[in-house]
Amino acid sequence: MATRTKPRIRVGIGGWTYAPWRGVFYPEDLTQKRELEYASRQLSTIEINGTFYGLQKPESYEKWYQETPDDFVFSLKAPRYATNRKVLADAGETIERFFASGVLLLKQKLGPVNWQFAPTKKFDGEDFEAFLKLLPASIEGIKLRHAIEVRNESFRTPEFIALARKYKVAVVLAGDSEYPQIADITAPFVYARIMGTTDKEANGYPAKALDAWAERARQLAAGTTPGDLETCGAPLAKAAAHDVYLYVISGFKERNPAAAKALIERL
């Protein structure tokens, strides 16, 4: 079997169950139990948010795997109990429990795991490195990819970027939001969440903004950081191809599927 070398840009949304999407994204006559089946054929990835609030059943992962196309990918929000703590080094049991809960039943459809931190969590190099050491590189032969979403300005430091690169975890690129924008490439993949959709545009964003994000995704996939995005670490010595996971999140949620589809069309 030939090995795929060309980077893949995947675009999606957060979750798939949202009543206002009925008749806007989902056909009116589509049964709710078929929403994931439908969404996974309109988009190329979905970020599962329910895993942030509690462990899911193994049966759920098996069902999600069966309902989606072979080349579809889920990213998962890691449990808040691992990240919302004073001492991150104590998160080991929570992390182990999460990966033992059925996550691996997604098999090749398991994409990056997003470890999201509260806006109140400040950067402490020793504390944060202790956490990164707990993230497994693989389990049962399945390679894992980790992204860390930080929301405090204290993380805008070269020391944080150096740590992320040392452990090959992606720093989530927060676009069009109130959170710090850190666009440094730190892992073999890029994880972006854009949060600027509004009710004033049919596709959530004006065409010019969608064009801009599509071009940024192309540059990130080529291993270069777009010049109009903010970074805080040393530039990479050499550009290399990267898979990109881009999620249209928050903002005016009713428009997020339309924005994601408009980006897919451009890409």
Cα distance between residue 128 and residue 120, in whole Å: 14
CATH assignment at residue 38: 3.20.20.410
Taking only the tens place, the pLDDT of each residue in 48-89 is 999 999 999 999 999 999 999 999 999 999 999 999 999 999
Whether 75 is covered by a domain: the verdict is yes
Q: What is the tally of structural domains in the chain?
A: 1
Phi, psi for 211 (deg, rounded to 5)? -60, -40
Could you tell me if residue 251 is inside a domain? yes
Contact between residue 97 and residue 55 where contact means Cβ atoms under 8 Å apart: yes
CA distance 194 to 180: 12
**Residue range(s) defining the domain that contains residue 89:** 9-266
Is position 213 within any domain? yes
Count the Cβ atoms, other than its own, within 10 Å of residue 161.
20
- Give the count of beta carbons closer than 10 Å to the beta carbon of residue 73: 21
At 105-152, the pLDDT tens digits run 999 999 999 999 999 999 999 999 999 999 999 999 999 999 999 999
Q: Nearest CA to 36 among 106, 85, 95, 101? A: 106
Q: Give the model's confidence band at 236: pLDDT under 50 very low, under 70 low, under 90 confident, else very high.
A: confident
Domain-located, residue 2: no
Structural contact between residues 112 and 170, judged by C-beta atoms closer than 8 angstroms: yes
In this prediction the pTM is 0.96
Give the pLDDT of residue 1: 36
Q: Is the residue at 1 inside a domain?
A: no
